[in-house]
Structure 1
Amino acid sequence: MPEIIYAAAPGASNGTTTTATGGGWGSLLFMLIFFIAIFYFMIILPQRRREKQFQQMISQMKRGDTVVTIGGIVGKVIDIKKDTVKIKTANSTELEITKRAISTVIKERSQENQEG
């Protein structure tokens, strides 16, 4: 009776030789590659696309365009520097913000009328 219990235990030997299969590492490697591919296509690739769209939006921005910041401030672009943009938010209020703080660029109305 104790032989039956030992035979069911993992790694137990009842005197006969058994051959081990090498499928454990192969399936583990396959799963690892699969999860890395899923991670790349679902997280990294979309982030790169958003970054490219943002850089294109910022590079096409010019004086007179209306911008919305990530904080919700709306203003008209009056000056563009290397890393910052100066916007006019009210009659006499001017703010200098970083380009990374811009959420949306709304084109100047006269350009939209000419294009459309």
Structure 2
Amino acid sequence: MFATPAYAQAAGGGAGAIAQFIPLILIFAIMYFLMIRPQQKRVKQHRELVAALKKGDQVVTQGGVIGKVTSVRDDELEVEIASGVKVRVVRSTITTVLNKTTPVAANS
């Protein structure tokens, strides 16, 4: 029997296996810092923006409708889009707040 060259070669060391995973780990780290982390920050900012909505804020919905918040409930808002025209929208569909209402200072 003759030994083929593939069987005659010695097995590789353990350092080669670790070196193969280093590029995979680097790709994941780069992906995390360039894509995943900024998206998580945006989601957190949007969640805070939606939680801080109150009556009188002027908002834009995902559909592009601009209106003024007239009523705030648990999961939905009532938005006045024209005089006398009010629509109910889900709170999470608000994309931006154009004008925030400021609290009136108490006279002392």
Q: Same fold (TM over 0.5)?
A: yes
Task: Report which stretch shifted further, 83-92 or 52-61.
Answer: 52-61
In structure 2, what is the equivalent of residue 67 of structure 1?
59
Deviation at 1:57, TM superposition (A): 1.1
| Number of equivalenced pairs | 101
TM-score with structure 1 setting the length = 0.73
Distance 1:21 1:93 in 2: 74
Q: For residues 18 and 25 of structure 1, do their structure 2 counterparts lie closer, same or farther at Cα, with a shift above 3 Å needed?
A: closer
Between the two proteins, what is the percent identity of the paired residues? 30
Distance 1:108 1:46 in 2: 25
Match of 1:80 among 47, 64, 72: 72
Q: What SS is found at the alignment partner of 2:82?
A: coil
For structure 1, the 5+ residue unaligned runs are 1-5
Partners of 1:92 and 1:20 in 2: CA distance: 78
* TM-score, normalised with respect to structure 2: 0.77
Greater strand percent: which structure? 2
Specify which of 35, 38, 53 is matched with residue 45 of structure 2: 53
Residue 3 (structure 1) aligns with: none
RMSD (Å) for aligned C-alpha atoms: 2.5
Q: Which of structures 1 and 2 has the bigger CA Rg? A: 1
CA drift of 1:107 comes to: 2.5
Q: Which has the higher contact order (CA 8 A, sep 6+)?
A: 2
**1:99, distance to aligned residue in structure 2 (A):** 1.3
Matched, 1:25 2:17: yes
